[in-house]
Chains A and B, each alone.
Chain A
Amino acid sequence: MNKSKRIYGLFALMVFIIAISVSIDGIRTEKHKKEQDFVQAEQTTTTEISTESTTADEDNTDDEETTEGTTISPEEKAKKVEEFYTGQVFLGDSIMSGFSLYASKMEAPQWLNNIIFLAKTSWKVGEVLTDNSGPLYKGNVQNVTVTLDEIKPQRIFVCLGINEMNGLGSPGYSVEKLVNKYGEMIEGIKKAAPQSKVYVISITPCTAEKENPMFSNAVIDEFNEAISSKSSEWGVEFVDLAAEFGDVLAPEYSSDGVHHTNKSYKEVWVPFFEELALEN
């Protein structure tokens, strides 16, 4: 009697366990089905949105007319700019360092992130060729001519000279002397990278508040005009970034009267260099 009771008891327990398992499995299946339905619904929505965006993009093709009169789509424009700058070198001081850091920001365009920046805070024209602890490249400290020989870029953009502006009014210093040094620097760069086209970028002005008898926008202008007039003799292309800022640097574009803010890099530098790429 006890034995048959035990058997019935065990049988009932098994039935109970099976029933519970089936219920749980049913709940899981239902939950899984709901999840799948949700994912499918999400995917459908996403597809619909992307289709709409594509259609919207197609409808609103923002083609631009180039200087040659031909039209260029935003995609072609972005591709051309990216090809122009990828793997090319921007060489400079702390103002260029600021641009290199801006390049890492999420809002910066991809082409900017593809540039190789060789920038060193406090760097001077007169130091470039002799400085054996030039801008860090691939973790190595070396002369910039060695680095340029390693990279072999097609294009080198140079923006230097601001750190020698302060003091040009002092006896023994002159714009002419600085321009001569600049010429020697260009010669050294071209020797190290004979395959590269060199672009010299004008020095950007300072704010009105920053001007003093030893550091003025008049001297900066004089220097820019001098390197511009020497550019064909040096075999380089002069790039007048300074002209984009006018006679003085607007306070909103500067953190301290000389260095540039992200607003400046975003609103002036980036469009300027994009335009330069499209013109070349």
Chain B
Amino acid sequence: MKRLLGFALAVSIALLSTGCGGSKEINTTTVYDGISPMTDAELVVMSDNYISNYYGIDVADLQQYVFAKSEDPKTADTIIIFKCQDKEKRKTYITALENAVNQKYTELSNYDLPEEAKLVKDSKIVEDGDIVYIVIAENAKDMNKIIKDSIS
């Protein structure tokens, strides 16, 4: 009986440990549906081909994802949330996001759109466990908080 209780306790601890330091959960569709109306821009959800060609991200490596940006190239609004359990690939994909953000900043600055460029400059790529997200928008702070609270 004691052995059985000991085994059950070990399994519980193992499960709890996995929950604390390992895979995190988020429903990107629900979160995106909730926060996308908070931007003024008309957002377009990018296709898998676009994500692959532009960011070099293979969506087959992602367990959950949403990539959306303003359909007007002169505005900065962007919402990207993805879950990638592969640590090395996640690192590469974060670098691709950094490159995209830097390029967007240069483009908008060259186009003499300082307010849009500032939104890009103020944005931050967040890595929370295996979930990565970035919001570029006027309400980015509130939207980031909603994303953060949605991660379990």
Contact = CB atoms under 8 A, between A and B. Distances in A.
Interface of A: 94, 97-98, 100-105, 113-114, 116-117, 119-122, 133, 136-141, 255-256, 259, 262
B49 interface: yes
19 contacts: A94-B74, A94-B107, A97-B73, A101-B70, A101-B71, A101-B73, A104-B50, A105-B44, A113-B49, A113-B50, A117-B50, A117-B54, A122-B108, A136-B55, A138-B53, A139-B55, A139-B97, A139-B99, A140-B96
Nearest to A99: B73
A105 B44 CA distance: 7
A168 to B, nearest CB: 18
A117 B108 CA distance: 19
Contact of B47 (A103, A121, A122, A137): A103
Given A98-B71, A103-B47, A139-B57, A122 B111 contact: yes
B103 interface: yes
Given A137-B54, A141-B99, A122 B107 contact: yes
A100 B103 CA distance: 16
Given A102-B71, A255-B72, A120 B92 contact: no
Given A103-B50, A141-B102, 8 more contacts: A105-B71, A114-B49, A117-B53, A122-B107, A122-B111, A136-B99, A139-B57, A262-B71
Interface of B: 44-47, 49-50, 52-57, 69-74, 92-93, 95-97, 99-100, 102-103, 106-108, 110-111
B44 A121 contact: no
A113 B71 contact: no
Given A122-B110, A136-B103, A137-B54, A104 B73 contact: no
Given A104-B47, A105-B44, A120-B107, A139 B73 contact: no
Q: Closest 6 A-B residue pairs measured CB to CB?
A: A139-B96, A139-B56, A138-B56, A97-B73, A121-B107, A122-B110
A100 B50 contact: yes
Nearest to A139: B96
B59 to A, nearest CB: 13
A196 to B, nearest CB: 17
A113 B57 CA distance: 16
A255 B73 CA distance: 11
Given A103-B47, A114-B49, A121-B111, A140 B71 contact: no
B119 to A, nearest CB: 14
Contact of B73 (A98, A113, A138): A98
Contacts of B73: 94, 97-98, 101, 119, 121, 259
